[in-house]
Amino acid sequence: MHSVGTVALGTSGTSAADVIAVARDNARIELTDEARAALAASREIVDALAAKPDPVYGVSTGFGALASRHIGPDLRAQLQRNIVRSHAAGMGPRVEREVVRALMFLRLKTVCSGHTGVRPEVAQTMADVLNAGITPVVHEYGSLGCSGDLAPLSHCALTLMGEGDAEGPDGALKPAGELLAAHGITPVELREKEGLALLNGTDGMLGMLIMALADLETLYKSADVTAALTLEALLGTEKVLAPELHAIRPHPGQAASAANMLAVLVGSGLTGHHQDDAPRVQDAYSVRCAPQVAGAGRDTMAHARTVAERELAAAVDNPVVLPDGRVESNGNFHGAPVAYVLDFLAIAAADLGSIAERRTDRLLDKNRSHGLPPFLADDAGVDSGLMIAQYTQAALVSEMKRLAVPASADSIPSSAMQEDHVSMGWSAARKLRTAVDNLTRIVAIELYAATRAVELREGLTPAPATQAVIEAIRKAGVEGPGPDRFLAPDLAAADAFVRSGALLAAVEPVTGALA
């Protein structure tokens, strides 16, 4: 396991960049002296309340619909162990390592705020587990996104107790107790409130939101590039990208997308031929309105980023320890704010995929491609060209549309109607991850078709940025025009080219940094 950098956790939250660093780059975590002091201070408050005869939720009572029972001191350690064991009830496939690391790190972020009453040694154990590269087994199903991501967080807390299974830094699954012992980590013995505090947060859905935003930022820039290449291949006009046209409808995302496309098209010998052999006044919507659609998605991302930043600064737990010493119940664990933007992003991603597929189809249709061969085939009829690549793209778009159906519009009551309205935010996050994965493939197929189409425009010189993309993608093993061949490897290589950021790396030395 290779570690990149160190992240310091204090009391005031964390950043999206730190979440990515821990989740994807194995950055080490250090607790600041400020965090340790806040942890100790809030623990003193919980210990004082635990010593009193009055029942306090989560400290000396049961949980959820069972909160009416007062729990005596002799059963409280068992109470905290039991909540973790009973709530670790997930089922289905394992979720990805980066998701689990983000989940644990964000829970630790809230613990370090000093609002949870967790002891400093428990927080340190959480950091130690992450630093050792130990990843709890967390399952696909179990969270309703209210009282936070209960089941996923419980599986993580189970590992801290040395129970259940986890993945070691070598990727092998082993009993968690063995992995902790191998790394010199002592399992925690949970005390009052600590079991509850380890599993009562929106951390899974927030972690997936942050990673989706990072991926979508790359994808939206990549989609601007592929849209520009398609415009060029279709001999379209770049005049619709003029900044003064976008200034009179002042959506910032739209202006950014248009500027990106214009930057790619500088110096093109293919644009502006829309009135040559087959005059047309305007390009089709999928070409002409590319900045409007991609721009709306960018503005959606900006809103989602605002929500994520607020959550990153939050301490989500119930009950919470307040600076004046009160321990109060609240509803801050409800995932609605995060769930809504996760669903909103899935809608925007589906529409971006849809418009990219329409552009690809236009490149392949001899009746609409303004002189390109049918399906960009070498010898149409003998060769099928990219006919079925578009089928694959269409299948991906169709699934994207299904994934755009909001999870957050649903609610199923739980806990004997105590938790009678839930967010389904975890489900929204899981389907967004699939949507982002599919969108990458869709953009890759448009890129594959557009580069081939540009190369088939013999006698016309593409923009320098376009030429740089073509040279880079050919070096990456994606072949150009020619007779039919096994297509799946080419499409996989194009997908890797987009997914890795190589497309932007090829363009930006020519265009400058894209917005």
- Residues annotated catalytic, as ranges: 57
CA–CA distance, 503 with 218 (Å, rounded to integer): 10
CA dihedral 353, 358, 364, 370 (to 10 degrees): -130
Reported as type and span, the H/E element at residue 327 is strand 327-328
- Taking residue 221's Cβ as centre, other Cβ atoms within 10 Å add up to 22
Tell me which amino acid residue 444 is: A
- Partnered with residue 174 across adjacent β-strands are 166
Q: What b/e sequence results for 504-513 when a residue is b if at least 16 CB atoms lie within 10 Å of its CB, and e otherwise?
A: bebbbebbee
The SS3 call for residue 265 is helix
Closest CA to 430 of 401, 398, 402, 407: 407
Reported as type and span, the H/E element at residue 466 is helix 464-475
Reported as type and span, the H/E element at residue 296 is helix 290-312
CA–CA distance, 86 with 81 (Å, rounded to integer): 9
DSSP state for residue 202 in the 8-state scheme: S
CA–CA distance, 289 with 300 (Å, rounded to integer): 17
* Non-local CB neighbours of 111 within 8 Å, separated by 6+ positions: 39, 118, 122, 123, 126, 197, 198
Query: Within 13 Å of residue 14, how many CA atoms lie on the same side as its CB?
Result: 31
How many degrees, rounded to 5, is the angle at CA 77 between CA 75 and CA 83? 95
CA dihedral 23, 27, 28, 32 (to 10 degrees): -90
